[in-house]
Chains A and B, each alone.
Chain A
Amino acid sequence: MNIPSTRLPAKLHRRVCLVLTEDAVLAEELLARKKLSTEVAGRLADRALLVRPGRIEQVLEELRKMGHTPQVINKPVERS
């Protein structure tokens, strides 16, 4: 059992383009879409899809065309 003061060994993966879905079925639905599947580099988990570097905007556009309204993290937030 780790004592809280012990540092946990970990490796960082930076600048990752990632899509997380509500459930595995939704992930399957996205992968079944041909245009989306070409932008997906791999399936990290049932609900986690790795997007090819630099292709997140294309993925978002395709998701919106499918009628989805994805929450996008790491975009600037307005002040007012």
Chain B
Amino acid sequence: MLATDDIDAWTTLARETLARYEVPLVREVATRLIKPRTPIADDELVDRCMSLLSNPPVLDRRIKDLPDPARKILALIGISRQPVWKVGHLITALATLGHSEGFAPVLALLECGLLFPVLPKGDAPVPAFEPWLGLAGTLHAKVYALPTVAARARGESLGLPTLTGETISTLTPRFADGLDWPLRLSVVWQLIAESPARLTQNNSLFKRDLARLQITDSLTGADDPLPAPDPGILAFFWAQAAGLLKEGDGDWIAAPFPLTWGPTLAPGIADLWSALCAVESWDPLTGYAPSDGGLSPTPTTGILALLLLARGDEPVTNWLDPQQIADWLWEHHPSWPGLISQNAARTRGRDWIEAYLLGVAYPLRLIEAAQLDGWKVRLSDLGRYLLTGAPEPLPAPAFPQTLLVQPNAEVLAYRQGLTPQLIGRLSRFAQWKGVGPACTLELTPTRTYHGLETGLTLAGILQTLNQHGMKPVPPAVADLLRLWANKRDRITAFASATLVEFQTPADLEAAMARGVVSVRVTDRIGLTDDGRDPDFQHLRLIGNRDYEAKPQRCIAVDDDGVTLTIETSQSDLLLEAEIGRVADPVSGDVPSVRRFKLSPTSLRRATTLGMTVSDLDAWFISRTGNLLPASGRLFVLGPTLPAPTVSRHLVIHLPSSEIADGLMQWPETADLLTSRLGPTTVVVEDENLSRLQGVLAELGIVLSESDRGTISRSMLPS
């Protein structure tokens, strides 16, 4: 959603749209727009088009040259201040104005570069407009005009009739302060800030969100001649169209208040007026009206009803009966009569027109109203500014001291001092309770915290309350705000920070002294206070690691099985958290070398933390490529196994495993041996030694006692 006054963003969008036209199409558009005397190279077409679109005198000539219906489309877009329109709505509005050419005027504007298609995301080129329209669907396809271009057409005639009004000097006009809808949108903004909303694929509300938006208590305005039905739902879709809500991961969340919500009323109301023209899922009589695939009559009927009030030569101070507006629209609007309720149809739509004008336009201060045999309406000063080109009304006198902060943390806000800017600011840190003649807010921990999250400071909040307060903020309330704000400093979460790891603690100290980092995380790791990249001029980068990348092997195990050497270039941050659980750092190494050592103590620590041998194996495989080394296994498993035993044995060392095999197999010798220790070693009990020697002697084998007890080689059978 681009802000209407963000000229650069719209220019960039138009350039990107033109760049997606295939060359024959952009050439066709350029020919009609630029009317060049000499051929233009392909790579200059877009630049030349953009250059002309920022040339007011030439633009005026192009607009004047347009066919009547095309010119009226631009005028309607200009007056509405809404750059983006559905093609279906433009065709409906044109039909109401007496033009039944259908899509042709829209196509004419597309072909001469004064209107652009809203293209789906991606790079798909646009060969022609008809295929794009076919894919997007004629009724719901969207087009946009550059705000600067549409503004040039604002003064063009729409051909609306001049309805005869009445001059009634005895009438006392009623007019609103224009704050009701900004306040209601702010209440809904807070609802969504606390809990985002989600829409179905048909852009309608789910039950849960429908229920919480159908609130009325806190939305009752100061002066509602005819309260709008489902004001919360209207406020939601209106806030969506006005950019107060934005889409994120399928949810609609609160967005920053626009800059147009400033210290004076007119810019903010102009913004809301332009957004109103895009609100579809609401009907002035029935309230929430989700689309069933067709087009809602609300945008076109609403804007045309107001434009009928801005009639030609008639003094705009004359009063009109809403029936006059309804009668004309009843006769000329192609779909509105068929879409409103039967009850409303009995009065030829008078109730609908009254509900729209008095429930929406009046609180927005676009019209004044008076009662004489029913309601009479006329444009207000703000309405004339937006719809007839009258000068912007002078801002109302400022009443900066308009808040009363009470000791119970409630705030009374008197409307005469409220501005859209103050409404937006208060919405960030105080909860709206009521938006009636005297608005009420409540300071709460949640709202205070939200305000701090959106960039406000405690000092800023207090400043706002004191600056606009009739009295200083009570000390008890200031203390409460301070307490709530301090709670926020207890935990700091960095969603995506850059951590800087130094080789030594001394390097980290030096970095902090130089201001490279300001937050110490460990004795060697720091970060800046905003978590962003540090100033690299003080650093020599020796590694760069993405936290979200998979952990990789980065440890070499020495032959002793207990010394672990970290390969610094490969290591990741998680290693710092993990390795301390299983090993202890080795001191005395040079800064570029980092070693850790397994020990019975360190591995006992790991098992105390719940790591099993399998866990240790898994960790070692991920970090070294091999299982927990044997030394480490000894430390972990040793205490858990049955106690080993020690005993003294006579061990016979044999020259070969074949001899050992034979001795173990031949019953005469096997019965004398206790066990076999290895391939060439067997055990004999002391009491059997002499008998064994005797048996071996019969074989010609001399078993002599020595330190190692070997058999004489000369006695071996050949």
Select A42's contact among B257, B425, B578, beta carbons within 8 Å.
B578
CA distance in complex: A72, B343 (Å): 54
CB distance A12 to B499 under 8 Å?
yes
What is the distance, in angstroms, from A26's C-beta to the closest C-beta of chain B? Answer: 6
Q: How many chain A residues touch the partner (CB < 8 A)?
A: 47
What residues of chain B lie closer than 8 Å to A7, measured between beta carbons?
537-540
CB distance B499 to A2 under 8 Å?
no
CB distance B496 to A45 under 8 Å?
no
CB distance A20 to B491 under 8 Å?
yes
CA distance in complex: A41, B387 (Å): 59
9-residue interface stretch from B152-160, B317-325, B510-518: B510-518
Closest to A11 in B: B543
CA distance in complex: A30, B530 (Å): 23
B459 within 8 Å of A by Cβ?
no
CB distance B548 to A41 under 8 Å?
no
CA distance in complex: A14, B569 (Å): 14
Interface residues on B, range: 35 or more
CB distance B577 to A72 under 8 Å?
no
CB distance A13 to B542 under 8 Å?
no
A10 within 8 Å of B by Cβ?
yes
CB distance A4 to B514 under 8 Å?
yes
A47-79 contacts to B (CB < 8 Å):
48, 50-51, 53-54, 56, 59-60, 63, 68-79
B497 within 8 Å of A by Cβ?
yes
CA distance in complex: A19, B530 (Å): 13
B546 within 8 Å of A by Cβ?
yes
A44 within 8 Å of B by Cβ?
yes
What residues of chain B lie closer than 8 Å to A69, measured between beta carbons?
445, 449, 452, 484, 487-488, 491
B525 within 8 Å of A by Cβ?
yes
A15 within 8 Å of B by Cβ?
yes
CB distance A74 to B495 under 8 Å?
yes
B428 within 8 Å of A by Cβ?
yes
CB distance B445 to A10 under 8 Å?
no
Closest to A40 in B: B577
B201-248 contacts to A (CB < 8 Å):
none
What is the distance, in angstroms, from B464's C-beta to the closest C-beta of chain A? Answer: 11
A8 within 8 Å of B by Cβ?
yes
Chain B binding surface SS class: mixed
Closest to B490 in A: A22
A24 within 8 Å of B by Cβ?
no
What residues of chain B lie closer than 8 Å to A13, measured between beta carbons?
498-501, 525, 545, 547, 572-573
B130-149 contacts to A (CB < 8 Å):
none
CA distance in complex: A43, B464 (Å): 40
CB distance B539 to A14 under 8 Å?
no
CB distance B493 to A80 under 8 Å?
no
What is the distance, in angstroms, from B533's C-beta to the closest C-beta of chain A? Answer: 8
For A12, A44, A70, A75, the residue with the greatest tally of chain B CB atoms inside 10 Å of its CB is A12
What is the distance, in angstroms, from A18's C-beta to the closest C-beta of chain B? Answer: 4
B690-714 contacts to A (CB < 8 Å):
none
CA distance in complex: A68, B541 (Å): 37
Closest to B514 in A: A4
What residues of chain B lie closer than 8 Å to A70, measured between beta carbons?
488, 490-493
B167 within 8 Å of A by Cβ?
no
What residues of chain B lie closer than 8 Å to A42, measured between beta carbons?
574, 576-578
Select B494's contact among A12, A18, A63, A80, beta carbons within 8 Å.
A18
Query: Given A8-B511, A13-B572, A80-B259 in contact, is the A73-B495 Cβ separation under 8 Å?
Result: yes
CA distance in complex: A79, B510 (Å): 35
CB distance B487 to A20 under 8 Å?
no
Select B507's contact among A8, A68, A74, beta carbons within 8 Å.
A8
CB distance B492 to A20 under 8 Å?
yes
B521 within 8 Å of A by Cβ?
yes
CA distance in complex: A30, B495 (Å): 17
CB distance B493 to A14 under 8 Å?
no
CA distance in complex: A45, B445 (Å): 30
B544 within 8 Å of A by Cβ?
yes
Select B540's contact among A9, A17, A19, beta carbons within 8 Å.
A9
Select B491's contact among A4, A17, A26, beta carbons within 8 Å.
A26
What residues of chain A lie closer than 8 Å to B547, measured between beta carbons?
13-17, 53
CB distance B491 to A21 under 8 Å?
yes
Closest to B449 in A: A69
What residues of chain B lie closer than 8 Å to A20, measured between beta carbons?
491-494, 519, 521
CB distance B577 to A41 under 8 Å?
yes
CB distance A9 to B542 under 8 Å?
yes
B78 within 8 Å of A by Cβ?
no
CB distance B507 to A18 under 8 Å?
no
B453 within 8 Å of A by Cβ?
yes
CB distance B507 to A44 under 8 Å?
no
What is the distance, in angstroms, from A54's C-beta to the closest C-beta of chain B? Answer: 7
B181 within 8 Å of A by Cβ?
no
What residues of chain A lie closer than 8 Å to B537, measured between beta carbons?
7
Select B501's contact among A10, A19, A74, A77, beta carbons within 8 Å.
A10
What is the distance, in angstroms, from A38's C-beta to the closest C-beta of chain B? Answer: 13
CB distance A53 to B540 under 8 Å?
no
CB distance B546 to A78 under 8 Å?
no
What is the distance, in angstroms, from A58's C-beta to the closest C-beta of chain B? Answer: 11
CA distance in complex: A73, B528 (Å): 11
- 4 closest Cβ contacts across the A-B interface? A42-B577, A11-B543, A77-B455, A78-B256
29 contacts between A and B (CB under 8 A): A2-B510, A7-B537, A9-B507, A9-B539, A10-B501, A10-B540, A11-B501, A12-B501, A12-B544, A20-B494, A41-B577, A42-B574, A50-B573, A51-B493, A56-B496, A60-B493, A63-B493, A68-B490, A69-B445, A69-B452, A72-B453, A72-B493, A72-B495, A73-B495, A74-B494, A74-B531, A78-B257, A78-B428, A79-B257
Interfacial residues, chain B to chain A (CB-CB below 8 A): 256-257, 259, 261, 421, 424-425, 428, 445, 449, 452-456, 484, 487-503, 506-507, 510-511, 514, 516, 519, 521-522, 525, 527, 529-533, 537-548, 568-569, 572-574, 576-578
